[in-house]
Amino acid sequence: MREKSLDFLKRMLNTPSPSGFEEEASEIWRQYVGAYQLITVNKDTYGNSIAEMTPATNSEHCISLPSTHTIMLCGHIDEVGMMIHYINDDGFIYVSQIGGFDALITLAQRVTIHNKNGHISGVIGRKPIHLADDDEEEVKLHTVFIDIGAKDKEDAMNMVSVGDPVTFDAPIRELANNRIAARGLDDRMGAWVVAETMRRLSERSLLKVTVVGVATVQEENGAYGAIMAAKRIKPSVAVAIDVTHATDVPDISKEEHGDCILGGGPVLSLGSISHKKVNALLETVAGENRIKIQKQISPRWSGTDADAIFTEAGGIPTALVSVPNRYMHTPTEMIQLDDLEDTVELLVRWCESIDDNTIF
């Protein structure tokens, strides 16, 4: 991977971005994409970051009139996290979920609370095994508490407030075989793919239609950013980029969940939301450019921005392209960088293959 692109990915992953608090990561995204020629960048009222490139400004060899088709590529920039809802008299902090995750993963974790002045470090307490009962109850988030070392409630409230967001303190780790682990690969990785696709398209100057790349907000809370973006952009066709479950680990049944592996390439979703013609074009482009792909099914819904896009504007032809991800919605999500690069290559070639005569 290009060094500058990897540095951008690392900055994104190490920047907190829980749903509703995406401002810092979104600004990094806009600065990166906006640095490339031919791309105009702006944001909407809730923080969706929108980058647009048209053939009219892209190349002297392209048509000078506005294109009929507009492609929307989107990846959500938010992550799961927590929010403070109560501080008790002893200064211990209780939280609610942002997005969804298993409360079990919070135990004995280091966390960061993001306040108006910066951030405060804390830990999530866990009763020592020496004091635990044999019949300890199932972990529920309302029983989990954060300890910031405060002496009492007043001391704690001098440092943090109800409403402050909380993220796991889990910076990126580089692993063997070109793999990385980090908090929030779901889905700042997808926002990275959109940014890199726009960069590559701007450098190649082969577009025949308009492409709009969006780093959407609040996917984990209900795909709200994607709804706003689809209503505003009204694209002819859309592709959502997200993660999907890699099933190449010991405790996941392939008989139940299908076969998806790290390093196996981008994953096409098959199901009711996925437009068959868009998927067929993606498959054709993958074959022509020798890009390996995998397939998974989403018979009813995908749990991604694609669900929010395809019903807008009377029906937008939509596809979902995903990257295999182990341990989703934990602080130790894992992907393989080759899959990221193959996803960018697929989207670049697919965008370039579309012209005003393409029928969806």
How are the residues of the chain apportioned to helix, strand and coil, as percentages rounded to the nearest 5? 30, 25, 40
Q: In sequence order, what E strands does the chain have?
A: 40-43, 49-53, 70-76, 81-87, 93-98, 110-115, 118-124, 146-147, 165-168, 173-175, 179-182, 210-216, 237-245, 267-271, 294-298, 318-325, 333-336
Could you report how far apart the first and last alpha carbons of the chain are, in Å? 33
Among the listed residues 219, 341, 345, 352, the single catalytic one is 219
Residue 31 token pair = 């600065």
At 278, the amino acid letter reads: V
Residue 60 token pair = 């002297």
Nearest to 305 by CA among 191, 141, 198: 191
At 325, the amino acid letter reads: N
* Residue 229 to residues 16, 45, 93, 301, Cα–Cα distance (Å): 22, 11, 36, 19
Residue 4 token pair = 């500058």
52 is catalytic: no
54, 61 in Cβ contact below 8 A? no
In which residue are the tokens 């109560």 written?
86
Strand order in the sheet with 210-216: 40-43, 49-53, 210-216, 70-76, 237-245, 318-325, 267-271, 294-298
Q: Could you give the residue numbers annotated as active site?
A: 219
